Structure formats: C-alpha cells, structure tokens
Structure 1
Amino acid sequence: MAIAAGVCGTLFVGYCIYFDHKRHKDPEFKRKLRERRHANKQDKAVNRPSTVDFPNMKDYQAVQKFFAQEVQLSDELLAAGDVENAVDHLANAVTVCDQPNELLQVLQQTFPPNVFHLLIQRLPLIAPRVLKQERRLQEEDVE
C-alpha cells in the first residue's frame, strides 16, 4: 500500500512537472502572461479609491469623521500588508486635514521612507479630486 501511494505521488509530481515545462515552452505563454499582468495593473489603477466621496469641507464634523475613518482604514491596510491602498487612504486623510504640513512631518517620522515617498507621490493625484468635488458641491448649492 505504501509503495502504491509512493508511486502515485511520484507520477502526480512528474505529471505536474511535465505540464508546467510544456506550458513554459509554449511561445504564446510569455505573451499571454505579460498581457494578463498588464491588464491586472490597469485594473488596479482603475479600481483605486477614486470613487471616494470626500465630505463637504465646510462641515467640520463630517471632515473630522472622514479623516478618522481614512486613517483607521490606512492603519488596517498597512497591518495587512496592502501598502498601495493604505497610502491611498492616508493621502485622502492628509488632503482633508486642516494642518497637512504638521501631519506630513509626523508621518515622515512614523513611516518607513519608501511608504512616505509613495504618499508624497500620491498627494498631487488626490488633491484635484477634492477640488473637483468641492466645485460640484458649490454648483449644487447655487441651484
């Protein structure tokens, strides 16, 4: 029985190795893999939290609630190892903060340099969304 199990296991591993080798030798494999990775990168870029509804900046309580929520989400995502999304939420929080320079100084001392630099790179992408939403809210107030 043990010999039969060993033979079956060896055959299964051989089968896996054979087909993995055959798959990698396929000339279309690398092209398909590159296309799939490129599509995944584009999906991730599209699915960034760009649909975040920023609060009305005139409503202090809503801004404070949003700030706390984004910081908490950022902490949870960092703990889970999802640095990209954590930085996005942290950038949202910095954008609505009433003292962003002081917050950035604290974050610079708190986070590793690579995470902080990623945050600095994301801020210019987030700020226009807040301004765009503010203009939309002002237009709704006028109507």
Structure 2
Amino acid sequence: MLAKSAVYGLAASAGLAFIGYCIYFDQKRRNDPLFKQKLRERRKKNKEKASKKARGPIPDLESPADRNKFFIQEVQVGEELLAQGDLEGAVEHLSNAVVVCGQPQQLLQVLQQTLPPQVIQMILQKLPEASVRLNQSASQGEMMEDDLE
C-alpha cells in the first residue's frame, strides 16, 4: 500500500514539474519582445523553402537533355505527391510534364489508363496555365541571359 502512494506521489510531482516547466517557458516566450517577429521570419523562411522545393528551377527547355531531365523529375514528383494524397501538387507537376513532353497525346493516354478520371480532368484544366507559366519562365530566362551579355 505504501508503494502505491509513493508512485502516485512521484507521478504527481513529475506532473507538477512538467506544468511548472511549461508555464515558465510560456512566460519567457510571451515576454520576449522579438518573439512574434522571429516567428514570422521563421514561417516566411519555411514557406519560401517549401515553395522553392515544390517548384524547383525551370531549366533551359531548348536543351533536349535538360528538357528530358525536367520531364522525368516532374513525373516522379507528381507520382510521389499522388502517393501522399496531394492531388493539387501532383496535378501541377504532371501538367508540367505533359507540357514539356515531346509526345503529349501519348503521355495523356498513358495517364488516362493509370489515373482516376477526376485527376485527368484536373490535369487537362491545368495544362493551359502550366504552358503559359513554363513559356514565361523560359522567356524570362532568355531575358536574364541577354542582360548578362
């Protein structure tokens, strides 16, 4: 009987110590004048890092090797995102792959056989936007190269 009360006492002490720890650091956080600023900066950095990772640099689409590498990368990322359940991200990457593909009709046929109809419909809706975005990126890349010369 004495052992049970000792265990309960230890559990209560540990719980109180944890609550005290939480209160102390919460108070310390609230009194830090730069906390909100640091938090905003950290969130902004994480958001930028995530968007860079998701979008990635758009290569020179005139080079067949770069175009092929970009195509394979976009298909792989699209498949990974589909497996994770992120339909929007997967559709974006797969539509990029269709735009840079040398034979888009054949790729669309393959995708129709392997993907659900709603995903195919989303890809078809996203194609014009992806085409414009990739063409703008390519033309901006050319403009930047011209500026460097």
The reply to whether TM is greater than 0.5 is yes
Counterparts in 2 of 1:1-143, with a 5 A limit?
51-142=55-146, 143=149
Q: Percent sequence identity over matched residues?
A: 43
Q: Write the deviation string for residues 29-69 of structure 1: whole angstroms up to 9, x where unpaired.
A: xxxxxxxxxxxxxx9xxx6x885432111111111111111
TM-score between the two structures when normalised by the length of structure 2? 0.58
Provide the rounded CA distance (Å) in 1 between the counterparts of 2:134 and 2:128: 11
- The letter for the 2-side match of 1:59 is S
Q: Whose radius of gyration is greater, 1 or 2?
A: 2
Q: What stretches of structure 2 of length at least 5 have no aligned partner?
A: 1-46
TM-score between the two structures when normalised by the length of structure 1? 0.60
The equivalent residue for 2:9 is none
- The letter for the 2-side match of 1:63 is R
Q: Write the deviation string for residues 86-139 of structure 1: whole angstroms up to 9, x where unpaired.
A: 111111111111111111111112211101001111111111111111212232
Number of aligned residues: 98
Provide the rounded CA distance (Å) in 2 between the counterparts of 1:98 and 1:85: 22
**Greater than 6 Å deviation, 4+ residue runs:** none
- The letter for the 1-side match of 2:86 is D
